[in-house]
Structure 1
């Protein structure tokens, strides 16, 4: 069983759930967020997962997030509770093909204070005992300048101890003051990463380059880089070469929210278990295909994840 520490934000999610008799859209409330989604799927795949985040205290939404974490078997000892604050909220709007657009309310979300007080010390101890530490570009965006500086040092330290670090770029321009600020933050943690996941949708606005080009460059420094293109074909670059995998068969998506997060969960779970790259990619595609056929980022609790069956 792989021991994993995941860092990021869990928010209140409002996902489309049909319409009323007069045609007004109806929404279902849940709890989700990019790294939280990945943490949940890792736990469902059998890994031992701790989630490091900050929440409010005593309100029904923060309590709901904590209950969801515990229901999924996540270790909540790294959750920092901040008084008089509410979790961030986002609503999903879907087009006819299931592609989504997000609308956020998170200006005073408690995640911005994650690294106040003793969070850094607690995270260091948890990360040292982990096999893998996972974060995303969204994590870096929402923890602020102080948090980014502290986290950069923590990741460099645990990397020096042999702990694997995984980064999903997941670039969201609205969360950053500029592409340059995002690039500086990401560049600061890349040297600590064993696993990197990005697409050209991430790399073009940040670097003016294709994901494949960056994957070649970063793999030469020692990372395993998963480069995803618009067709969903995946090329994985390592210092010892490149593994190319074809795009999977298409499925009719209902909601693409959480597709990349679930892909990362299955891929990393498989790789940390010692499975070959091609098998990890295949399992990752299968989980993502299941996820996009349901509404919301996280499948209903108890949904079977049959990743070994075509």
Structure 2
């Protein structure tokens, strides 16, 4: 295990190249686009690193320029990168447009991508066992059979080593319909210590239940915390015998993609720091709100100093 004074989180999954329109309107008329990267798990790793938590990301990329960009961008944020270069498949691509000032549309081109070919053999010996926490998401579980097998193998190793497991449901309807996805995601959630999910995602895993009942059923399987994400309305944490609610923030959102990942990073950082659940929720909701203030998947992820300033209400646009 890592030194308790220096918590380390490991995470694995697909990170793709990201093309986004720089102006409001359809891509069919966009005069320019910006190139970046994005992926749920690497977003969390970057968010954690900015909040002072050592993090490591593992994934497959293609033997191409986009794969090199993925590795370079994540590594530049101080994350330990364990990239497997796949010469037989390209780096995946996602495209974002803003049809209106208040909406974002995301399109994925990931079929047969390098990231979808992740295997249990890609996860090096000792990498999980030396961590404080393993974080995974439902995206990897649905992207391919080998991806799901890799998650289960990683969780097996974490549990054997006494490493806590965090699971973000992160359901993507483009990867599987609800009937097919629900049991697969539930099988992973029931093996985690901490589960994150929106109301619809919890119900997806327990059809017929409401979100509160679904959360309590997860607690009955051995989860220590179930975090119900409610967007601008904040979040609720279910623990055996207790429920803690945390209010959200009303902001003028620019881009909501990646806000859930920032929330997770904020929550895990607070949990690892030993904060009370209410304070951990406050940090998580702050990080989620701040991630919506600028375009991009992870670029607006805050530092602890940024979080503290936001919570104080420091909004002076001029720094002297």
Distance in 2 (CA, whole Å) between partners of 1:95 and 1:55 is 30
Contact 1:34-1:258 within 8 A present in 2 as well: yes
Give 1:288-299 correspondences, 5 Å limit.
Answer: 288-299=288-299
Q: Is residue 86 of structure 2 the alignment partner of residue 71 of structure 1?
A: no
Q: Could you tell me which residue of structure 2 aligns to residue 93 of structure 1?
A: 97
Q: Is residue 235 of structure 2 the alignment partner of residue 234 of structure 1?
A: yes
Contact 2:11-2:56 within 8 A present in 1 as well: yes
Q: Is residue 168 of structure 2 the alignment partner of residue 172 of structure 1?
A: no
The CA deviation string for residues 13-39 of structure 1, in whole angstroms up to 9 with x for no partner, is: 11221279x963532110111111111
1:99 deviates by 3.3
Aligned residue-pair number = 301
Contact 2:234-2:249 within 8 A present in 1 as well: no
State the TM-score, normalized to the length of structure 2: 0.86
1:196 deviates by 0.3
The CA deviation string for residues 180-212 of structure 1, in whole angstroms up to 9 with x for no partner, is: 332222222223211100111323445333322
Give 1:132-281 correspondences, 5 Å limit.
Answer: 132-142=133-143, 144-176=144-176, 178-208=177-207, 209-223=209-223, 224-229=225-230, 231-246=232-247, 248-281=248-281
66-75 vs 181-190, which deviates more? 181-190
Distance in 2 (CA, whole Å) between partners of 1:10 and 1:3 is 20
In structure 2, do the counterparts of structure 1 residues 109 and 173 end up closer, same or farther at CA, with 3 Å as the change threshold?
A: same
In structure 2, do the counterparts of structure 1 residues 275 and 141 end up closer, same or farther at CA, with 3 Å as the change threshold?
A: same
Distance in 1 (CA, whole Å) between partners of 2:229 and 2:40 is 17
The CA deviation string for residues 267-288 of structure 1, in whole angstroms up to 9 with x for no partner, is: 0111011111111111111112
Distance in 2 (CA, whole Å) between partners of 1:253 and 1:131 is 33
In structure 2, do the counterparts of structure 1 residues 232 and 19 end up closer, same or farther at CA, with 3 Å as the change threshold?
A: closer
> What CA RMSD, in Å, does the superposition of the two structures yield over aligned residues?
2.3
Unaligned runs of 5+ in 2: 1-5, 312-320
What's the secondary structure of 1:127's corresponding residue?
coil
Distance in 2 (CA, whole Å) between partners of 1:304 and 1:186 is 32
156-165 vs 105-114, which deviates more? 156-165
Distance in 2 (CA, whole Å) between partners of 1:3 and 1:153 is 19
Unaligned runs of 5+ in 1: none
Q: Is residue 49 of structure 2 the alignment partner of residue 49 of structure 1?
A: no
Which of 4, 7, 20 is residue 2 of structure 1 equivalent to?
A: 7
What's the secondary structure of 1:80's corresponding residue?
strand
